[in-house]
Amino acid sequence: MKLHEYQSKQILSKYGVPIPAGRVAATAAEAKQIAEELGGRVVIKSQVLVGGRGKAGGVRLARSAREVEELAAEILGMEIKGLPVRKVLVDEAANIETEIYLGITNDRSARKPVMMASAAGGVDIEDVARETPEKIVKVHIDPLLGLRDYQARDLAAGIDLPRNHWRSFGQIASALWQAYLNCDATLVEINPLVITAEGRLLAVDGKMIIDDNALFRHSDLAEMRDLDIEADAEIEARKYGLSYIKLDGAIGCMVNGAGLAMTTMDIIKLFGGEPANFLDIGGGASADKVKAALRIILADPNVKSVLLNVFGGITRGDEVARGILSALSEVKTSVPMVVRLVGTKAEEGRQILADANLITAESLVDAARKAIAAAHGA
Ligand code: GDP
Ligand code: MN
């Protein structure tokens, strides 16, 4: 499980890593308020679970509170590598002189954690690793002994860190190791760890990945999971022009039209059920869209029945029915399907579906009741 930068930095800070003052915001107005509280120059940083935000324009320095609002609004409207930005971190800006890389991960072939440091930290660290790997210094950590002081000094010397920073560097390296160990992380990374103009070491960025298999013993970390971002299905849905929002219920919904989709969810709830999702397949339910929508709905293990509510105006019911059957022939499932179909040639459509052993309904109330019953295995 990946943690956001602001979460990672908060954890690292508890272990003694110096981080800039700052807070996370979900709106531009909130970002502005945080900037005013901080005073001075701030940096606005998109919180998305991918690297390379800086290069994508997701990390911006602001000079005034007014600029904070503009930039935050801009960043909050962005998508970075397909992920929507829903939060920004507003941090006191650092006066950066040098950018260092410092991280720990598992070296599987050495069967030990490895701590890595480089004087060439910052946004191009991947290029450094590929083109000039000698600029990355490594020490392997014996898990029983932990990180030894001399190892941290070896790293400091290896990256030609000025002597006056060694003490602070040692503390940061040790904090990083403790965080890695205690959180059952598979990666802990500060990139960049900067030397500021004021002569301090400061973790400007932070990244942590927690071993999913260890989450059972870290309920505090498990709670940090970003459900928003983890919903891959929403990204998949967007590819097919479907609007899909995952919810927690057992009844999958596939509806043509956003308003009708909302109504369908309301009716399901009215009769005591819980929708598993919101899904609008838009007008003209083509077999391809129905197929994609079915795949997405059925990928949710909570789904115990699916309610297809198609209100055909000009769209012909028999064509919709054939579309559904063609989709079902490819997306095999044992989850019961309830189809409510009205509009042109709806009779014919329902007949085709009934012949194929699908549950059909004429009214939405009838459909909702049948879908709820089917979800309960009735
Ligand atoms: P990433 O691109 O996703 O790794 O995001 P980072 O948080 O590492 O930011 C990218 C780059 O933005 C850093 O390498 C810095 O060069 C720059 N940056 C980030 N925060 C600050 C800051 O407070 N002040 C200045 N001057 N630059 C910053
Ligand atoms: Mn970074």
Distance from C-alpha of 34 to C-alpha of 62, rounded to nearest angstrom: 13
At residue 26, the pLDDT reads 96
The answer for residues whose C-beta is within 8 angstroms of residue 332's C-beta and 6 or more apart is: none
Q: Is 56 in the pocket of ligand 1 (CB under 6 A)?
A: no
Task: List, as own/partner pairs, every contact residues 228-235 make where C-beta atoms lie below 8 angstroms and the sequence separation is at least 24, other chains included.
Answer: 228/86, 229/48, 229/49, 229/83, 229/86, 233/296, 233/299, 233/300, 235/82, 235/83
State pLDDT tens for residues 90-148: 999 999 999 999 999 999 999 999 999 999 999 999 999 999 999 999 999 999 999 99
Query: What is the enclosing helix (H) or strand (E) of 353?
Result: helix 346-355
Distance from C-alpha of 141 to C-alpha of 135, rounded to nearest angstrom: 19
Report which ligand 1 atom has the smallest distance to the Cα of 51: 3
Report which ligand 1 atom has the smallest distance to the Cα of 207: 4
Q: What DSSP line would sit under 24-65, residue for residue?
A: EESSHHHHHHHHHHH-S-EEEEE--SSS-TTTTT-EEEESSH
Q: Is 73 left (phi over 0), alpha (psi -120 to 50) or beta?
A: alpha
At residue 284, the pLDDT reads 63
Helix count and strand count (H, E) for the chain? 14, 18
Q: What φ, ψ does residue 93 adopt, rounded to 5°? A: -70, 140
Q: Write the DSSP symbol of residue 343.
A: S
Q: How far is the CA of 121 from the centre of ligand 2 (A)?
A: 9
Q: How far is the CA of 59 from the centre of ligand 2 (A)?
A: 10
Nearest CA to ligand 1 atom 10: 54
Q: Which of the ligands is closest to the CA of residue 60?
A: 1
Catalytic residues: 101, 189
Domains and CATH numbers, the chain: 21-92 (3.30.1490.20), 96-222 (3.30.470.20), 231-375 (3.40.50.261)
At residue 118, the pLDDT reads 98
3-state DSSP assignment of residue 106 = strand
Q: How far is the CA of 85 from the centre of ligand 1 (A)?
A: 17
Q: Which residues of the chain have pLDDT under 70?
A: 227-231, 284-285, 378
Chain centroid, CA 305 distance in Å? 27
The answer for residues whose C-beta is within 8 angstroms of residue 109's C-beta and 6 or more apart is: none
Q: Which of 22, 84, 23, 77 is nearest to 49 (CA)?
A: 84
Report which ligand 1 atom has the smallest distance to the Cα of 55: 2
Q: Is 54 in the pocket of ligand 1 (CB under 6 A)?
A: yes
State pLDDT tens for residues 288-323: 888 889 999 998 889 999 999 988 777 788 888 888
Give the CA count within 13 Å in the CB-facing half-sphere of 18.
14
Q: Which of the ligands is closest to the CA of residue 103?
A: 2
Q: How far is the CA of 59 from the centre of ligand 1 (A)?
A: 6
At residue 248, the pLDDT reads 87
At residue 50, the pLDDT reads 87
At residue 229, the pLDDT reads 57
